Amino acid sequence: MSKSLLPKNIAELKAYSSAKSEKLTGTTWLNANESPYAKEFKLSLGNLNRYPEPQPEYVIDAYAKYAQLNAEQVLMTRGADEGIELLMRTYCESGKDSIAIFTPTYGMYKVSADTQNIAINELSQSLLLNADVSEICASIGGAKLVFICNPNNPTGSLTPTSKIAALAKSLSGKALVIVDEAYIEFCPEQSAAPLLQDFENIAVLRTLSKAFALAGLRTGFLLANTELLAPVRKVIAPYPVSTAVAMIAEQALNTDSVTQMRRQVSILNRNKDSLKTLLSNSPKVTQILSGEGNFVTLQLSDRSFIETAMQQGTIMRPFSLYGEDNWLRISIGSEQELEQVRLWLEQPE
């Protein structure tokens, strides 16, 4: 009976498969692009009988300062995923409008679009990186939202901000350019946030899940100018941010915590360089996608090597890419965690 009530697009929906959706057992977790750093936070929760601020002013102000924007350009969301969903719900008409994505890329753009019966114009990362702006815009066609994951997950590739600006200029009045900067702390000079001073049709997605080491908090931000954000503010749930989340986010964004985050990013970037050296010297690895972010994506000579790693308790993220199933994404962990990767790589084949 319940199946007969489902809309066709939901009945046929292929759900997003996150790194945590499989029940795996292991001791070294390098599969979800999480930070290896944990931190203690203080909570005093004597007021949970009251609703929270819809947009907690102290968190918004702190993030605006961090992002070098004005407070009215910042909307706090439940992870960057809610920002993706909100933009589609606000700007796309179900069964009529479309979005453009550049694959391979983050899978939630497709899931959110499919959920809301929004068509997807699936273009390639190669087109985004190598074609000129006029060719890209012609391929985008009538898409209302253009999603650029930058750095891109899972390839780590970067689209120059000059190209993002040129795309936004060319698409002015036709489409919004959405820049997903989940990994931007690992290459902050590449952020598109400064473009907001010149463009009304750019939005930037941010998260505290990666460099800020708060994947369990589910906190993100949507950055854009007032005119773009105003209708989104009408669509967002009335109380999207819990009191506890707001208190932790405020602490995570104070000056000392931001300094600590940047120090940790420097360590992780050094660890990434060490890992890439290890991988480049391994006969098990046939190709490394050199990119930004807190992960390295590589191709193995034999997919069975992944099983060996899992048996020793080292959990990484296998997936198919470019039509082949022998790809692996390794999150950058601590030196001790990456030592387990080295032991795996040096095991006899």
Domain edges within the chain: 2-37+257-346, 57-256
**3 state SS of 4:** helix
- Tokens standing for 133? 């702006």
pLDDT band at 163 (very low <50, low <70, confident <90, very high): very high
Name the residue among 20, 291, 265 with its Cα closest to residue 155. Answer: 291
CATH of domain 57-256: 3.40.640.10
pLDDT band at 79 (very low <50, low <70, confident <90, very high): very high
CATH of domain 2-37+257-346: 3.90.1150.10
Number of helices and strands in the chain (H, E): 12, 12
pTM (predicted TM-score): 0.94
- pLDDT of the residue at 14: 79
pLDDT digits (tens, 9 = 90+) for 114-151: 999 999 999 999 999 999 999 999 999 999 999 999 99
Question: Are the C-beta atoms of 332 and 296 separated by less than 8 Å?
Answer: yes
Distance CA 68, CA 201 (A): 19
Give the E-state strand segments of 132-258 in sequence order: 145-149, 176-180, 202-207, 220-223
pLDDT band at 2 (very low <50, low <70, confident <90, very high): low
Distance CA 304, CA 44 (A): 49
- Tokens standing for 282? 């391994």
User: How many CB atoms are located within 10 Å of the residue 108 CB?
Assistant: 18
Residue 84 has pLDDT above 80, yes or no: yes
Where residue 246 falls (left for φ over 0; alpha for ψ -120 to 50; beta otherwise) is alpha
Residue with tokens 């910042």: 74
- pLDDT of the residue at 23: 58
pLDDT digits (tens, 9 = 90+) for 297-341: 999 999 999 999 999 999 999 989 989 999 999 999 999 999 999
pLDDT digits (tens, 9 = 90+) for 191-246: 999 999 999 999 999 999 999 999 999 999 999 999 999 999 999 999 999 999 99
